[in-house]
Structure 1
Amino acid sequence: MTDETKIVSKVLVLDSNAECYDSIKAFCDSHNLIGLKVQHDNIMSVLKSNVDLGAILLAEEYGDNAHGGIQLARDIHEVRPDLPIFLRREKSDHLDDFSEKDRKLFSAAYTIDCIANLHQAIDEFIFSLVYPSALVRGITDLTKTALESQFRGMGVEIAAPYIVRDRIIFGEIFTLIPIEGSWCRGYMMLQAEEESLLRLVKADKTYIDADSADDFRNLNNVLGEITNLIWGAFKNKYINYSENNANLAQVPLVINHLHRYISFGSENPQLCFKYTLLDGDHNDEKSMVIYQRFVFNLSWSPEDFKENQFSTVDELFDSGELELF
């Protein structure tokens, strides 16, 4: 990962007017958005899946119906109320003529001729938090090290970091650990599919005995150990416990297993990373995807972020912390 790496976000483009595609694609490209399309019949199944999304770009006249987008927005809001929806209208870039109930469905409105005006809404609803480049690079570096230490003979492929607004949980195994410091307070999550991890354990790619793979607790322990390693490295590199942390407020976490949904009690977006573990033989049967999310829902002050500086031996002697025996 380099200084040129940018954080991106995936947006679902629901627009049936092909004449608008070039303008929408150009806007997405210039604002670090990855546009995704889906057939009308598959919209709800996609939204109920594990696809990470930052927002939806929806046309008011979707499906060649003057109000097709409005009804679709109501349906979307039922299954994914956490996703901001930006409505493309034909003549006006406001929602004043909508009922109060329908206005609440949308985060902003725009026309294709004035799509550039959507920039402020993108910043507000998707890229509302600034993440220092050194932090983003550091997270991937220490996570890669942790993964390589726990999976034998596996390479680690790292996708571009991205932002999501959804609250969907990926896979069956999920770890959660608090991250607390003077400049941030929140949680780190790791998510993985049990079947993929089971295959790697049986292939003797982990430090769990292959004969013990069928005990789900052992699979849990693999992801738990990785979580601990990342948390420890993050703490050592970025958290200064000598500083007084007076803000100790907490909010309840809400998890709905049926809908694979987790809420942290805030509207903050989540910083996400995707790691793909690849077998040296490039065997897809022995690959695995791990998603990592950071949500700083309790406190976030990126201006105070800094890496811990480790003292040299001379500095430790000068301060009196270290003495000759």
Structure 2
Amino acid sequence: MIGFERRLVSKVLIFEDAPAVQGTLKAFCSDNGLIGLKPASHSAMNMLESNIDLGAVLISEGFTDSAEGVSNGFELARQIHQLRRELPIFIRREGRSDLDDLSAVQREGIAGAYDIVDPDSLKTLLDQYLADTEYPISLIRRIEEVTHSSLTALFRDIEVSNELPYLVKDKLTYGDILSLLPVEAPWFSGYMMVQSEEQPMIELIRDGRTAIDSRSVDFRDVMGLLSEITNLAWGGLRTRLLALHPPTIDDNTRISVPITVNQFKEYISFGTDRSQLCFKYTLHDVRGTLAPVTLYQKFIFNIRWSPEDYLQADENKVEDLVESGCLELF
């Protein structure tokens, strides 16, 4: 059976000059469910300005970037913090894992320090700032299964693949269309987003891959389709969750949190620093004539989240025993 820590990952952007440390960090990422990314030919800030969702940024204190005029990691951390304030920044130091000797200017934007000689100092930071919420593996499986089935039901001659689910700390949006739906169960309350790009979805409709009339297609059809994807996925998931624990009067949530959106910056905030649970799905044309279409599904439990209560009601405890070989189905 796949362990929880091998099923949920997070992307971290790494700015590291020392080859030996790069190798150590690569092994650390592999062991701790992280996907390590590093800048290629372009500058550090160009990398951050691109629309990639991240969980954290790792910088060595000696990192330099001539393209941006950055002479050390503290300057880079300050610039990144100004650009992406929601991202925790961890700085690698030589021989120490604290910030006590730094000035207020040097500390600006830095969530914490670590020493690669002591990997636990980095793991502690990741646990504190990124893995701040438990997401039970059975809940993740339910989300994937229901969404996969929903997409398969809505599209013709399309194969659906999905990558490992992951956590992000930033608040970027993907593509140019977005569907947002309040979601609530006895254990949580928040929102589900589904994001995509308009033109590839239009091509799917025009090619007759949906039940929508393909003769005259515009953005309204795409928005309607995205809404149907959202409703179908949540409807199926809600049915399965409520089968575990029917809601009572006490389960009703009466709290609201403001949602703020900056469309120009592709930024949305749900009033919380809690990590977002993200899923990426790709629709592949089995005929080979249409380009793949990417969909991102994100869950933000910004109002209520009680994983312990979910685990108490989770019938997958039996399913897990069957998968592990401890039990057999009659």
TM-score, length-scaled by structure 1: 0.89
Which of 225, 234, 248 is residue 242 of structure 1 equivalent to?
248
Q: CA deviation at 1:101?
A: 4.3
Local SS of the residue matching 1:143: helix
Query: What percent identity do the matched residue pairs reach?
Result: 39
CA deviation string 1:139-187 (max 9, x = no partner): 0000011101111110000100100001000001101111112210111
Q: Distance in 2 between matches of 1:255 and 1:142?
A: 28
Q: Distance in 2 between matches of 1:268 and 1:185?
A: 13
Amino acid corresponding to residue 238 of structure 1 in structure 2? L
1:255 aligns with 2:261: yes
Amino acid corresponding to residue 53 of structure 1 in structure 2? L
Distance 1:79 1:64, change over 3 A: closer
Q: CA deviation at 1:68?
A: 1.5
Matched residue, 2:32: 31
Matched residue, 1:167: 171
1:223 aligns with 2:226: yes
CA deviation string 1:49-98 (max 9, x = no partner): 22121111101110289952111111111211111111011232111122
Matched residue, 2:185: 181
1:272 aligns with 2:273: no
Amino acid corresponding to residue 193 of structure 2 in structure 1? M
Amino acid corresponding to residue 280 of structure 1 in structure 2? V
Q: Distance in 2 between matches of 1:184 and 1:34?
A: 28
Pairs aligned (count)? 307
CA deviation string 1:6-55 (max 9, x = no partner): 10001111111112111111111111111011136332222222212111
Matched residue, 1:194: 198
Where in structure 2 are there 5+ consecutive unaligned residues?
A: 317-330
Q: Does the 8 Å contact 1:174/1:191 carry over to 2?
A: yes
Q: Distance in 2 between matches of 1:287 and 1:87?
A: 38
CA deviation string 1:201-238 (max 9, x = no partner): 1221112222222x211110000011110111122111
Local SS of the residue matching 1:199: helix
Matched residue, 1:146: 150
Amino acid corresponding to residue 49 of structure 1 in structure 2? S
Matched residue, 2:300: 295
Q: CA deviation at 1:200?
A: 1.1
1:63 aligns with 2:69: no
Matched residue, 1:20: 21
Matched residue, 1:44: 45
TM-score, length-scaled by structure 2: 0.88
CA deviation string 1:294-320 (max 9, x = no partner): 0101111011113599xxxxxxxxxxx
Local SS of the residue matching 1:231: helix
Q: Distance in 2 between matches of 1:271 and 1:308?
A: 22
Q: CA deviation at 1:120?
A: 1.3
Matched residue, 2:88: 84
